[in-house]
Amino acid sequence: MPYWPLLVLLFIMGAIGVPLGANSWGHGAVGFDISWLNWLLHLTYMNFWSAEYSNTIIGVEWTLGIEFFYYVALGLIINFYLLNKLNLMRMLLLGCFFFLVTCVGQYLINGHKVDNYLDIQWSPMLYGYMFILGGIAYFGREKFNNIFNENVRNITSDAVGVSVFVMIWVSIVFNWSPVLVFNLVPYSPLLIALMTFLLVVFLQDTSVLGRIITCKPLLFIGSISYSMYLIHLLVLHTSFLTVGGLGDTFSFIYSLIIIILVSYVWYYVFEKRIYGAMKMKIRKFQ
């Protein structure tokens, strides 16, 4: 819901000549003006069809077209082929297929077989296995919760959580190693997907770690996270919201506060009030 109003606002700003400084790639690809084609491709989540338009307005929206593609594609697969037959083995096989597609795509990038690697990097080709991992995690979490009692689940949850944080620390120390697994798959995205998978399967709200990450401040950040994702680059590149001469630490804190404030307003207006009211009206017709 916050995405479309933001596109409308930025389209109007571009039309009246307000400089949009969030995305140097977009400016180099299509200029500062947002064309009707560019805008409509974003509005319909079809911006992934070409790197020329994938990421040309907000600076992070290339991921949204990919998400939309897999929500539709996997939804159709499940509805017409796997409905009432969906099980862990089928999800594993589908995941293997998408992982193979990812390997092929990465090979094309690494071997310089494509003129513009962003045509693959910003396309759905590399990310199908991540969505399948989410489906497998659903089955895994259900099995885990049904088999083990609460004490075992909580102990496992904390152990997995600590392991994931150690993996994150090691990866940061080694700069999210760019080394490729089997010379095909980038280490960083694969590792992040696997860490997320582990947390989804094993993390329990009643464990020590679960209670920490479900505290009110983190839940608040989680509620506005989508708006933060959409808005943060725009805020960082809006001149009247930035202040120079603060130093790196204070500049970071100041920018974070502004991003949180703007994101909360955007979240409250569009997600909570307008979208909330729309959902209430939809329920009345069901």
- pLDDT tens for residues 198-242? 999 999 989 998 898 888 999 999 999 999 999 888 887 776 566
- State the burial class of residue 195 (Cβ atoms within 10 Å of its Cβ: 0-12, 13-18, 19+): middle
38 belongs to a structural domain: yes
Residues 253 and 200 in one domain: no
Spacing of C-alpha 152 from chain mean position: 31
26 belongs to a structural domain: yes
| Residue 273 tokens, joined | 């009030």
65 Cβ contact partners less than 8 Å away, ≥ 6 residues apart? 42, 45, 46, 47, 48, 54, 124
100 belongs to a structural domain: yes
Spacing of C-alpha 243 from chain mean position: 29
Residues 201 and 234 in one domain: no
- Distance between CA 129 and CA 77 in Å, rounded? 15
DSSP-derived pairing of the beta strands 185-186 and 180-181: antiparallel
User: In terms of residue numbers, what domain contains 277?
Assistant: 215-286
Residues 172 and 249 in one domain: no
Residues 53 and 100 in one domain: no
Is residue 126 a contact partner of residue 174, using CB atoms and an 8 Å limit?
A: no
15 belongs to a structural domain: yes
- Give, as one character, the DSSP assignment of residue 242: -
Spacing of C-alpha 28 from chain mean position: 24
- Distance between CA 181 and CA 261 in Å, rounded? 40
> 181 in the Ramachandran plot: left (φ > 0), alpha (ψ -120 to 50) or beta?
beta
284 belongs to a structural domain: yes
Estimate the share of the chain in helix, then strand, then coil, as percent rounded to the nearest 5: 75, 0, 25
| Residue 281 tokens, joined | 């009206």
pLDDT tier, 255 (very low <50, low <70, confident <90, very high otherwise): confident
Residues 56 and 101 in one domain: no
Q: Which of 207, 242, 260 is the endpoint of a domain?
A: 207
Residues 240 and 274 in one domain: yes
Q: How many CA atoms lie within 13 A of 229 on its CB side?
A: 12
78 belongs to a structural domain: no
**Digit-coded pLDDT (tens) for 112-160:** 677 778 888 888 988 988 988 888 888 889 889 999 999 999 999 999 9
Residue for token pair 């998978």: 197
| Residue 271 tokens, joined | 């997600």
Q: Is pLDDT above 60 for 277?
A: yes
Share of the chain above pLDDT 90, in %: 20
Residues 134 and 195 in one domain: yes
**Digit-coded pLDDT (tens) for 150-168:** 999 999 999 999 998 888 7
Number of domains in the chain: 3
pLDDT tier, 24 (very low <50, low <70, confident <90, very high otherwise): very low
Q: Is pLDDT above 50 for 47?
A: yes
- Give, as one character, the DSSP assignment of residue 241: G
Is residue 109 a contact partner of residue 117, using CB atoms and an 8 Å limit?
A: yes
Residues 228 and 200 in one domain: no
127 belongs to a structural domain: yes
